[in-house]
Each structure stands twice: as structure tokens, then as C-alpha cells.
Structure 1
Amino acid sequence: MPKINGNEIKPGLILDHDGGLWAAVKVDHVKPGKGGAFAQVELKNLRDGRKLNERFRSADKVETVELEKKDQQFLYETDGMLTFMDSESFEQIELPSDLLGERRPFLQDGMTVRIEYVGEEALNVALPPKVTCIIASTDPVQRGQTAANSFKPAMLDNGLRILVPPFIGEGERVIVNTETMEYSERA
């Protein structure tokens, strides 16, 4: 694993720190009036989700880890386990559904996702940035509501509630951002 100086840490890097794998979420470079400069780094543990704030000086050496990324197709879910198939070797793997967390409802049959590995261990499942969903139910348009930038609640076909513009009705297909879990545009 390559080593870098503490002042070279950037958001998105994966670090081997304190016996665990951590993703750098936020990095602030600080130059105090007295003493040496340092990088204040917010880290997130890839295995259990814990967060940690750590200071790294430029003289500190940190090991970076390269994740192997594979595109895999979602097949089905049984007893809280998601089954994926490698699109090249056709091998199937099972991962716990809690790896996706609150984004789980966006996973659709046949969807291709990117799974990140360290060795043989799957650490993360990255969904496509935008997914097409159908509006299952929403309130009717009220007169005068379209004048301002307003939104109304809607229930998606996957059970999630989001806010949509007033002109969106039941049965319409919309594109939802999987990171922010918000309406993006009409499909």
C-alpha cells in the first residue's frame, strides 16, 4: 500500500488508520499562528460507519488503500440478503441489505451497481446517481400553488415519500436522485 504525507489527504481517499479502513469525508488544512500546519480530517469507518476527527501533520505518513470496483447486477433478495451477479464471470455473491441503508428501496431488479472490494470483502454498494420511479399517490393540484416555488408530498412505488412539484400527478414516471433522495426531473 502506498504511503502519503498527512498534508496530501484529500476527500474520498481510503486510509488504513488505527487498524481499520477509513474514508476521508472532509479535509481542512489549518495554519495556526503558532506551531506547524496540519490537516484536520473527518474520517468514516467503512466497516461499521463510526466517525472520527483526526489531525495529520505533514511529517505524518499515512497508508492509502485502493478499492477494487466491480459492476454487478442485482438479482433478488431473500431473508435480508441481496444476491448480485458479476457481469464478467457470472459468479453470484450475497451481501447484507443493510449495506445500502436507507437507499435500499431504490435497488431494482436487474439494476447494475458498482460494488467496492478490499480483497474479497465487499465494503460498499454504489447505486446509479439517478433512478426512475413511478408516483403511486399524491395530492391533487391546488389553485394558486403553481405561482411560487412549491412542492407537495408524494408516495413512490417503492414506498418512499418525497416532495414533487405541483404539476406531477399519480402514475407519472419521475427521476429521483439516490444520494439526496429528492425529485430531480420528469422521466
Structure 2
Amino acid sequence: MAALIEAIDIKRKTLFEHEDTPFYCMDVEVNSPTARGGQTLVRVKMRNLLTNAVFERTFKAGEKFKEPDLEQVDATYLYSDGDGYHFLDQQSFETLTLTENMVGNALDFLVDGLLIQVNKYNGNPIGLELPIFVDLAVTETEPGLSGASQSGSVTKVAKLETGLDIRVPLFIKEGEKVKVSTESREFAGRA
């Protein structure tokens, strides 16, 4: 049986199950009463891992939640079609299919063979986590300047192989691979 988590023990980044749905705690605030006999309340800003909806909810300190049956598996991106986005589980070698909703804005980083983590809830894929950095090829940009320094303080727009537009230093040329942060969506260096 899964361990129970009390509302008072929920911290940022805690995963818990409420009403048969897995949630991720984004922020938490504990309100202790000043009057005797008052109840401690825990206000949680949480994200539904199935729908990605974010909302706040207040619980009594003693309320208990189950740990969700979540697992992360290594998978590589294969292709997309009308049925969704297909990934190869690196342990079982089964194909995992995610919908466009589950993939979300990760589409800007998906290239063939990219190793990611697929989140599974009760054995079914519900979403994915990208690596911190992804190497992508520059498909369009203005010609590089030969005298441009490596300092990178002046930038230009570059279109990457996935269609994502980012700002890159002037010395970057078409065909080069660049390292892009998946969190900030910014240039992080040459690949």
C-alpha cells in the first residue's frame, strides 16, 4: 500500500494524489490560527499532472493523501503522426504514444532520437520531461560576421530545425548546432 502524506507535510515539488488524480505542489503556505481551538490550514498551489491545470486549494493540516503511482522512464523520440507523438521506452522497448496536449510546448525541442523522460501514472503515459539542454541545428539566420567576437553581446534571430526562433550571437552560421535551454528557450552555447 502506498504511504500517506499529511497536508502539513506537503512541500514544494511534492507529488500527491487527491481525488484519484496526481498533483504536483508548486507552492505551499501554512496558516496557523491565533485563537485556541483554531485549525491549521495548508494552502497549496498545485498542478494537475493529467490536464496541466493549475489552481489553489486549502486543506486542513491533518488531511491525508496517497503517494501517486508515478514512474519516469527513459524514452527516445521516434516520430509523430495523426495518432500523436511516439517514443521508444528504453527498457521495455515498447512504443509510448502521447497526445499533443501531453507534449505541450516541448514540441519546440523534439528531434529524432532525443532522450527524454516519460511520466507514467498507473502504467499509462501522461506527459514528458525534457533534458535541461537540447542541441538543435540552425536552419535559417543572417550570414555570420567573420570579425564577430565570441562575447555574444550583440545577437540576431535564428530559426532552428524544429521551427523555434531564438536569439544567437552574430558568429553563429546556418547549419551549426547550438545548445538551447529548454527552460528559458535561450541560446546556451555551441553544441
| Kept in 2: contact 1:2–1:65 (CA 8 A) | no
Structure 2 residue 77 is matched with structure 1 residue 77: no
| Structure 1 residues 150 and 75, CA gap change in structure 2 (3 angstroms) | same
Number of aligned positions between the proteins: 185
| Kept in 1: contact 2:152–2:168 (CA 8 A) | no
Deviation of 1:140 (Å): 5.0
Match of 1:154 among 142, 153, 158: 158
* Structure 2 residue aligned with 1:2: 3
Task: Write the mapping of 1:5-154 to structure 2, written as runs, cut at 5 A.
Answer: 5-31=6-32, 37-140=40-143, 149-154=153-158
| Structure 1 residues 32 and 177, CA gap change in structure 2 (3 angstroms) | farther
Please give the TM-score of this superposition, normalised by the length of structure 2. Answer: 0.82
Q: Which moved more, 1:23-32 or 1:122-131?
A: 23-32
Q: Which amino acid aligns with 1:12?
A: K
C-alpha separation in 1, matches of 2:107 and 2:83: 11
Match of 1:164 among 162, 165, 168: 168
Q: Percent identity?
A: 29
Please give the TM-score of this superposition, normalised by the length of structure 1. Answer: 0.83
| Kept in 2: contact 1:80–1:97 (CA 8 A) | no
| Kept in 2: contact 1:14–1:66 (CA 8 A) | no
C-alpha separation in 1, matches of 2:21 and 2:13: 16
C-alpha separation in 2, matches of 1:78 and 1:162: 26
Aligned-residue Cα RMSD (Å) equals 2.6
| Structure 1 residues 96 and 160, CA gap change in structure 2 (3 angstroms) | same
| Structure 1 residues 109 and 140, CA gap change in structure 2 (3 angstroms) | closer
C-alpha separation in 1, matches of 2:11 and 2:176: 41
